[in-house]
Amino acid sequence: MIELEGVPELIDPVMVAAFEGWNDAGDAASTAVAHLEREWKGEVFAALDAEDYYDFQVNRPTVFMDGGVRKITWPTTRLSVVRVGGEKPRDLVLVRGIEPSMRWRSFCNELLGFAHELGVELVVILGALLGDTPHTRPVPVSGVTSDPDLAQRMDLEETKYEGPTGIVGVLQEACTHAGVPAVSLWAAVPHYVSQPPNPKATLALLNRLEDLLDVRIPQGELPEDARAWQVGVDQLAAEDSEVAEYVQTLEEARDTAELPEASGEAIAREFERYLRRRDVGPPGGKPRPSSGGAKEDEDGSEE
C-alpha cells in the first residue's frame, strides 16, 4: 500500500509521464514534462527508490555542492503534482525520470500504485522517435492506444506495432491490463539532427497534449526556441549540399503523402488553439465546454 502524505485530494487527475533514454529522441518528451513542472511550479511528492531500478554504471549519480556540503543526486523517477486553474480546474500528476535498467514490471506496478491511490483517470505517456521527417515541416505527433474502446472514444489510432519496445510501450500495456486508460503521444524527430535539445518537437508534443486534455499550456520561450532551432538547422543544411538535397527529398515525400483533408484538420486544430489562447486569459487554462474530456489522435513505431 502506498501512503501519500501532504498530497491533497486531486481534481480529475491525469498522469503525464516521460522518460529519458531510448524512447526520448532529442530529449523532446522529457523536456516537455520538465516544461510543465517549471511553468506550473510542480511540487515533488514522491521518488522511486533508485536502488531498485537503476544500474549506476549506466546512469551515474552526480555530486554537487550545497552550501559548502557535498551531496549526491541519484538517478531516479520523481512524481510531482500541478493544478491547472481556470473555470474547471484539474490536476496533473507529472512523472519524469529515466528509463529503468531493470525490474520494469515492478517499476510499472509502483507507478500504477500511485495512479490508483491518487484516483488518476487517464495516463498519457510522451515519447519521441527518430523518423524520416524534414525539420522544415510541422512535427508529426501521433496518438495511440491499445484499448479499442478508448481509440474510438478519443479518436486515436489503435497500435499495431510489433517489435522491440521501451518503457513507454511496457507502461502503456501495464495500464491497459490494470484497467487504467492510457494513451501514448509520439513526436517524430528528424534522424539527421537527433542531438538534443529539440524545442520544436517538445512544443509539438505540448500542443497535442493541450488538445488531448482540453487545457491551455503556457508555452514560455518554447516558440522562440523552436524558431531559433529551425534557423540553426537551416544554416547547417545550407552548408552541405548533400544534406540540403536529402532534406528536399524528404519535403517532397512529406508533401505528397499528406492529404488535403489532413492538412485541413491541422489548420482547424491550430485555429481552435488560437481561439483558446485568445479567450482564456492568464496561463493555467480554462477548458472549453467539454463532452467528456479528451479528444485527439506510440506511433506504430517505437524507435
Cα distance between residue 274 and residue 279, in whole Å: 9
Whether residue 114 is predicted with pLDDT greater than 90 in this model: the reply is: yes
Averaged pLDDT score across all residues of the chain: 86
pLDDT at 286: 34
pLDDT at 293: 37
Binned at pLDDT 50, 70 and 90, residue 279 comes out as low
* Alpha helices (H) in the chain, listed in sequence order: 28-39, 50-53, 104-118, 148-153, 167-177, 199-213, 222-238, 241-257, 260-280
pLDDT, mean of residues 22-29: 96
pLDDT at 256: 81
Buried b / exposed e over 195-220, threshold 16 CB at 10 Å, is ebebbbbbbbbbbbbbbbbbbbbbbe
Judged by phi (left if over 0) then psi (alpha if -120 to 50, else beta), residue 212 lies in alpha
Q: What percentage of the chain carries pLDDT values higher than 70?
A: 83
Binned at pLDDT 50, 70 and 90, residue 182 comes out as very high
Map out the domains of the chain as residue ranges.
Answer: 13-259
pLDDT at 141: 94
> In this predicted model, what pLDDT tens digit does every residue of 5-17 receive, in sequence order?
778 789 999 999 9
pLDDT at 155: 81
Output the pTM of the full model.
0.83
CATH annotation of 13-259 = 3.40.50.10900
pLDDT at 149: 86
Instruction: Name the residue with higher pLDDT: 213 or 273.
Output: 213
The residue to which cell 549540399 is assigned: 241
Whether residue 104 is predicted with pLDDT greater than 50 in this model: the reply is: yes
Whether residue 262 is predicted with pLDDT greater than 60 in this model: the reply is: no
pLDDT, mean of residues 14-27: 96
Closest of 19, 164, 16 to residue 94, by C-alpha: 16
pLDDT at 2: 66
pLDDT at 270: 59
